[in-house]
């Protein structure tokens, strides 16, 4: 278990590249914040294997599970459904839009050994579209509320004889 920084910081770059070149990195699993007492940082699991199965040789699965936590106040934990989703993704070793990406070790080395999850696991386009639609709806609703408040204020000002 490490802070996310070990995936991309220069300080750990040589070690990371040697692990990738040796084909020891099997998976990178990004976890959410507040999973450890008195620490709000996001953490990650680096799963290493000396002998990979034939279908995993030369490949690394990156799983972005930072949103797979139950967050309550300042503490967080993984519920059984979170653990199952992460475990299933690791076992299946296939791309899952917005959650998991299988890359070659050469892809990672082309990026100077950078294993940052955001570099490889992109949010689903559908999810991004929903977020944008939701934000637009919020803006419209807020504008309607502002307009209604202005109208109410103007009406009250007219009622007391202040016209503007």
Phi then psi for residue 74, to 5 deg, are -105, 10
Q: Alpha-carbon distance 94 to 63, whole Å?
A: 10
Q: In which region does residue 81 sit, left (phi positive, over 0), alpha (psi from -120 to 50) or beta (all else)?
A: alpha
2-123 is classed in which CATH architecture? 3-Layer(aba) Sandwich (3.40)
C-alpha span between 150 and 157 (Å, rounded): 10
Tens of pLDDT along 43-87?
A: 899 999 999 999 999 999 999 998 888 888 777 889 999 999 999
* pTM for the whole structure: 0.73
Which DSSP letter does residue 96 get? B
């Amino acid at each position: 278990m490490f802070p996310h920084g070990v995936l991309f910081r220069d300080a750990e770059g040589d070690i990371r590249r040697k692990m990738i070149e040796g084909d020891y990195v099997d998976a990178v699993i990004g976890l959410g914040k507040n999973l450890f007492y008195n620490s709000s940082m996001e953490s990650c699991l680096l799963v290493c294997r000396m002998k990979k199965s034939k279908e995993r040789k030369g490949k690394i699965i990156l799983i972005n599970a930072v949103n797979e936590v139950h967050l309550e106040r300042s503490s967080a934990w993984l519920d059984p459904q979170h653990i199952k989703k992460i475990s299933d993704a690791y076992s299946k070793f296939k791309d899952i839009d917005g959650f998991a990406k299988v890359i070659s070790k050469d892809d990672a080395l082309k990026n100077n050994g950078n294993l940052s999850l955001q570099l490889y696991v992109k949010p689903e386009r559908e999810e991004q579209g929903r977020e944008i639609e939701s934000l637009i709806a919020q803006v419209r609703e807020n504008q309607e509320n502002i307009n209604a408040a202005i109208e109410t204020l103007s009406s009250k000002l007219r009622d007391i004889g202040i016209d503007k």
